[in-house]
């Protein structure tokens, strides 16, 4: 007997349970909507399962390994440091499991219905959700698409056991003796640094003139200096050509300065970007506008050209950042709930967990000038900060970007330890419309890295204390 596929009626449907989707679902529920969230994979998406969280756990383990070798300058000597990498992976898994189970509890606590399966759009109010056994039709009033992205695969570097993406790099069973990283962006730099700290001989091949191309050259130079100290080989303007695999490793061929070179390794990690997951979910059935990169076009309220369908996260324009996706998810959910909300990206930070960390928010000086501001940059070095010196980690600087006529804070760039935490203060200043004087008048505890923000504000006011 064939059972009919009778449609199940929904109020708000969220497609994808990553940091954009699950946040959107929770906020939608908080605004009084009846919400159903669908994902074919684990709750938390790439970020919690095979991205942001496990990579930061791996980076932390790498830092601890590096520190365990001691520091002769500080009079600390150690011998016979060893790493049980299976234990590292076990601990990383516990961190991930704690967060993903927490997401499930939060969704259920906010009365969000969770459905497992793959979504295909039939029309502007209908989807089919399929799992391995069944297909179920759902109708909805509003929908938020948050399907995320996937690592780009280079045709000449098809993914295998030895040619890996970021997910594979986070799931290795042993610490490689040698690793080649293709792509010196934030993912390649972060994971390359983590494995270098574990003792891997790392080579980074970057096609452009510098690694971390989204950041100013001065910031990139601080990281490059530290990579060199770790023994990482960085080759820029290098074009990866192909790879030969053997039972025990790979040989990567690349071209630099018109000359073909090869490098042997245990693994080659390919990190050349991500592509949006929009190709096979039936968007053409609905007539949703998608650009030539596969990104869905949205307005300031995250609405697509179909008035009841919204899109957020990696599938829309902008950097593929988890916190950007969460922010957009809140906006879309609030708009559906009848609230006046719209996206404003000026306060969204970008962070790389390199060594040292890099962080930016708002405008750089050049970006501010291009936007029509009369802007100035006020710089303060970590080397002039007592806390940085006591940490024996004083490479780097902070640049505070302000408007000349009134000192309005419109941006910042930080290269140095704890940049990922420090950037939030400037983000708040931008969001609140604060000036350099407001920051300078805020008493920061001593000694702290946070004082660097206050000192940069003093520089902006023309009254620096701890720098000339």
What secondary structure does DSSP assign to 429-453, as a single string?
Answer: HHHHT-BHHHHHHSPPPSS-TTHHH
% of the chain beyond a pLDDT of 90? 97
Q: Say if strands 118-123 and 35-39 run parallel, antiparallel, or are unpaired.
A: unpaired
Domain 163-272: give its CATH superfamily.
FAD/NAD(P)-binding domain (3.50.50.60)
- Higher-pLDDT residue of 228 and 247 is 228
Residue 425 annotated as lining a ligand binding site: no
Residue 443 annotated as lining a ligand binding site: no
Domain borders along the chain are 8-151+275-345, 163-272, 356-460
Q: pLDDT (tens digit, 9 = 90+) per residue, 150-192? A: 999 999 999 999 999 999 999 999 999 999 999 999 999 999 9
The secondary structure element, H or E, covering residue 122 is: strand 118-123
Nearest to 65 by CA among 196, 183, 212: 196
- What integer is the mean pLDDT of 114-133? 96
Nearest to 143 by CA among 247, 262, 298: 298
Maximal C-alpha separation, the chain: 85
Residue 297 annotated as lining a ligand binding site: no
> Active-site residue numbers?
446
Question: If you compute the radius of gyration of the chain from its CA atoms, what whole number of angstroms results?
Answer: 24
Torsion of CA 454, 460, 462, 467, to 10 degrees: 50
Query: Which residues, 6+ apart, have CB-to-CB distance to 250 below 8 Å?
Result: 162, 163, 180, 243, 244, 264, 265, 266, 267, 268
Cα–Cα separations (whole angstroms), residue 45 to 37, 108, 132, 327, 459? 12, 17, 19, 16, 43
Q: pLDDT (tens digit, 9 = 90+) per residue, 34-66? A: 999 999 999 999 999 999 999 999 999 999 999
**Residue 4 — very low, low, confident or very high, per pLDDT cuts 50/70/90?**
low
**Cβ atoms < 10 Å from Cβ of 239:** 12
Nearest to 63 by CA among 154, 151, 193: 193
Domains 8-151+275-345 and 163-272 alike in fold: yes
Residue 314 annotated as lining a ligand binding site: yes
Nearest to 108 by CA among 203, 37, 49: 37
- What integer is the mean pLDDT of 242-269? 96
Residue 39 annotated as lining a ligand binding site: no
Judged against a pLDDT cut of 60, whether residue 3 lies above it is answered with no
The angle subtended at Cα 223 by Cα 350 and Cα 91, nearest 5°, is 70
Residue 273 annotated as lining a ligand binding site: yes
Q: pLDDT (tens digit, 9 = 90+) per residue, 357-371? A: 999 999 999 999 999
Residue 386 annotated as lining a ligand binding site: no
Torsion of CA 221, 222, 228, 229, to 10 degrees: 160
Cis peptide before 447 (omega within 30 of 0): yes
Residue 430 annotated as lining a ligand binding site: no
Residue 21 annotated as lining a ligand binding site: no
Looking at the DSSP bridge assignments, the partners of residue 400 are 378, 412
Mean pLDDT of the chain: 96
Q: Which two tokens stand for residue 367?
A: 């970006």
Judged against a pLDDT cut of 90, whether residue 251 lies above it is answered with yes
* Predicted local confidence at residue 1, as pLDDT: 35
Judged against a pLDDT cut of 80, whether residue 2 lies above it is answered with no
- What integer is the mean pLDDT of 400-423? 98
Residue 111 annotated as lining a ligand binding site: no
CATH topology of domain 8-151+275-345: FAD/NAD(P)-binding domain (3.50.50)
Domain 356-460: give its CATH superfamily.
FAD/NAD-linked reductase, C-terminal dimerisation domain (3.30.390.30)
* Predicted local confidence at residue 468, as pLDDT: 87
**Residue 133 — very low, low, confident or very high, per pLDDT cuts 50/70/90?**
confident
* Predicted local confidence at residue 71, as pLDDT: 93
- What integer is the mean pLDDT of 89-109? 97
Judged against a pLDDT cut of 70, whether residue 431 lies above it is answered with yes
Q: pLDDT (tens digit, 9 = 90+) per residue, 276-304? A: 999 999 999 999 999 999 999 999 999 99
């Amino acid at each position: 007997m064939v059972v009919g596929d009778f449609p199940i009626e929904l109020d708000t449907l969220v497609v994808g349970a990553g940091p954009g989707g699950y946040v959107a679902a929770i906020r939608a529920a908080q605004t009084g909507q009846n919400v159903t969230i669908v994902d074919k994979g684990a709750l938390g998406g790439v970020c919690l399962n095979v991205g942001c969280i496990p990579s930061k756990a791996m980076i932390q383990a790498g830092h601890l390994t590096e520190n365990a070798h001691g520091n002769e300058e500080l009079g600390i000597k150690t011998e016979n440091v060893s790493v049980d990498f299976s234990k590292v992976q076990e601990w990383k898994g516990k961190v991930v499991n704690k967060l993903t189970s927490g997401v499930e509890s939060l969704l259920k606590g906010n009365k969000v219905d969770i459905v497992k399966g793959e979504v295909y759009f039939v029309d502007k109010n209908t989807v089919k959700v399929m799992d391995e056994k069944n297909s179920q039709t759902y109708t909805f009033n509003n929908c938020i698409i948050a399907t995320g992205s996937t690592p780009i695969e280079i045709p000449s570097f098809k993914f295998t056991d030895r040619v890996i993406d970021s997910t594979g790099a986070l799931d290795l069973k042993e610490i490689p003796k040698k690793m080649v990283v293709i792509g010196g962006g934030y993912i390649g730099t972060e994971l390359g640094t983590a494995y270098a700290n574990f003792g891997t001989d790392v080579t980074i091949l970057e096609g452009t003139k510098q690694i971390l191309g989204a950041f100013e050259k001065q910031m990139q130079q601080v990281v490059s200096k530290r990579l060199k100290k770790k023994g990482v080989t960085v080759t820029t303007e290098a074009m990866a050509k192909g790879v030969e695999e053997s039972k025990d490793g790979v040989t990567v061929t690349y071209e630099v300065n018109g000359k073909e070179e090869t490098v042997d390794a245990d693994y080659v990690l390919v990190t050349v970007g991500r592509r949006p997951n929009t190709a096979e979910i039936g968007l053409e059935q609905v007539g949703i506008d998608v650009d030539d990169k596969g990104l869905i076009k949205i307005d300031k309220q995250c609405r697509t050209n179909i008035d009841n369908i919204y899109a957020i996260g990696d599938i829309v324009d902008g950097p593929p950042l988890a916190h950007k996706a969460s922010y957009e998810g809140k906006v879309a959910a609030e708009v559906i709930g009848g609230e006046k909300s719209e996206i404003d990206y000026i306060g969204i930070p970008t962070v790389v967990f390199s060594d040292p960390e890099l962080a930016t928010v708002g405008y750089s000086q050049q970006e501010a000038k291009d936007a029509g501001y009369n802007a100035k940059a006020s710089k303060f070095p970590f080397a002039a900060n007592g806390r940085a010196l006591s940490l024996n980690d004083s490479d780097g600087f902070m640049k505070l970007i302000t408007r000349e006529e009134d000192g309005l804070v419109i941006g910042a760039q930080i290269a140095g330890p704890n940049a990922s935490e420090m950037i939030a203060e400037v983000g708040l200043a931008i969001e609140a419309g604060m000036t350099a004087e407001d920051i300078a008048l805020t008493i920061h505890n001593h000694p702290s890295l946070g004082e660097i923000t206050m000192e940069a504000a003093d520089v902006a006011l023309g009254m620096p204390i701890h720098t000339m």
